[in-house]
Amino acid sequence: MKHSRGRVLDVTSLADLDRRLAGGATTLAGWRVVGLDLTERGPTLLTRSLAQSLFLGCEFAEGEGDAVRRAGAVVLPDIPGVPIDPYRASLYAPRDLYDTPRYRDSLDARAYAWSQGRPDADDALAMDLHDHAVDVALETWLAGRSVVGVMGGHSLERGSGTYAAAARLGHGLGRDLTVATGGGPGAMEAANLGAFLADEPPTAVDDALQRLAAVPSFRPDVGAWARAAFEVIDAHGPGHDSLGVPTWHYGHEPPNPFATTIAKYFRNATREATLLEICNAGIVFLPGAAGTVQEVFQDACENYYGDPSTIAPMVLVGRRHWTEELPVWPLLRSLAQGRAMESHVHLVESLDEAVAAVSLSRPRGD
């Protein structure tokens, strides 16, 4: 998504650049010019004020890049040998990551393999620049949205009753809110699936669940798992907006295609903090293991120390799971006791109760 108004303007095509310059622009302050061949535009650019402008991964004629810097612009060159665009101006669509017939050849797989090597200084810089670009694009995409998170385990298989329940939860929440998940398989995929179908009747969810059950897991074949998802997407698309926030840190967890928009990060710590921060309408925690427990208490910490106006609901689904199998609830309830967050912490059994608990609480402030 490109900025078209305000203090920051992304320019990602020569046609857009030429149009704006021909329209009388005398200063490029606040412009981010991304990935353009400017070998024939240098003289024109240098007739404008370039202070506070940014050129990312652009190509200049000999000597003109230095001249643009001297004129007050920041110029960051292209970084060779990296599979991702460190200066991208938008979030990913599913087919950006699944861009080849075989998964192992895809951008998603290539980026993971590259990130697991021995990164040199340029590679590390490219990852950091990429994650910053995703942050900026995500901030734009989120503007004006009320976002509810759904957290849960990645090992939940299609065809199971718990997977179907997570899909119906996403369907119920997605009608009024933007659903965000960790963007991976299992409960995350199911919630994004339900949200994708939020504008359709429950029978559409039933149909999708039946189709997907033929390929229950991303193991042993991520490609077959993803193709089954894309068949559902093609049958029901374009779908209702939802968000996935996965990470290449967990390469064994491929991104699920039902998140219509994907903010994928290299740094998992950045991803975890971002995912919790953006859920201004609360988070529903489905049964999960260590990762989900971590997310519960990260979110609890934000609510525990947060201003009362910023507290959003925490809804744990599954009494036995959260009180016996992983007894998170007693500690969470004790933390909340007597604090502003106390009335926003819920333990429920049914999905209808979860949707109601989210709906009754106000979102966090900006």
For 271-316, the pLDDT digits (tens) are 999 999 999 999 999 999 998 999 999 999 999 998 998 999 999 9
Where along the chain do its domains lie?
9-76, 94-138, 142-359
Angle, alpha carbons 39-40-43 (nearest 5°): 105
Q: Are 274 and 296 in contact (CB under 8 A)?
A: no
CATH of domain 142-359: 3.40.50.450
- Encode pLDDT of 7-43 as tens digits: 679 899 999 999 999 999 999 999 999 999 999 999 9
pLDDT > 70 in the chain, percent: 96
279's tokens: 């859920």
Sign (positive or negative) of CA dihedral 239, 172, 161, 243: positive
> Per residue in 337-348, pLDDT tens?
999 999 999 999
As given in the structure block, the two tokens for residue 104 are 């192992």
For the chain, how big is the Rg over CA atoms in Å? 22
Per-residue confidence at 2, pLDDT binned at 50, 70, 90?
very low
Contact 233, 196 (CB under 8 A): yes
> What backbone torsions phi and psi does residue 51 show, to the nearest 5 degrees?
-60, 140
Please, are residues 182 and 188 in contact by the beta-carbon 8 Å criterion? yes
What is the end-to-end Cα distance of the chain in Å, rounded? 20
How far apart are alpha carbons 323 and 320 in whole angstroms? 5
Task: Output the CA angle 343-344-345, nearest 5 degrees.
Answer: 95
Whole-number average pLDDT of the chain: 93
- Give residue 364's pLDDT band: very low, low, confident or very high (50, 70, 90): low
**pLDDT of res. 7:** 62
Average pLDDT of the residues in 191-215? 98
Beta bridge partners of 56: 34, 76
Q: What is the pTM of this model?
A: 0.89
Give the DSSP letter string of 229-290.
Answer: HHHHHHHHTT----EE--BTTSTTSPPPTTSSEE--BS-HHHHHHHHHHH-TT-EEE-S--H
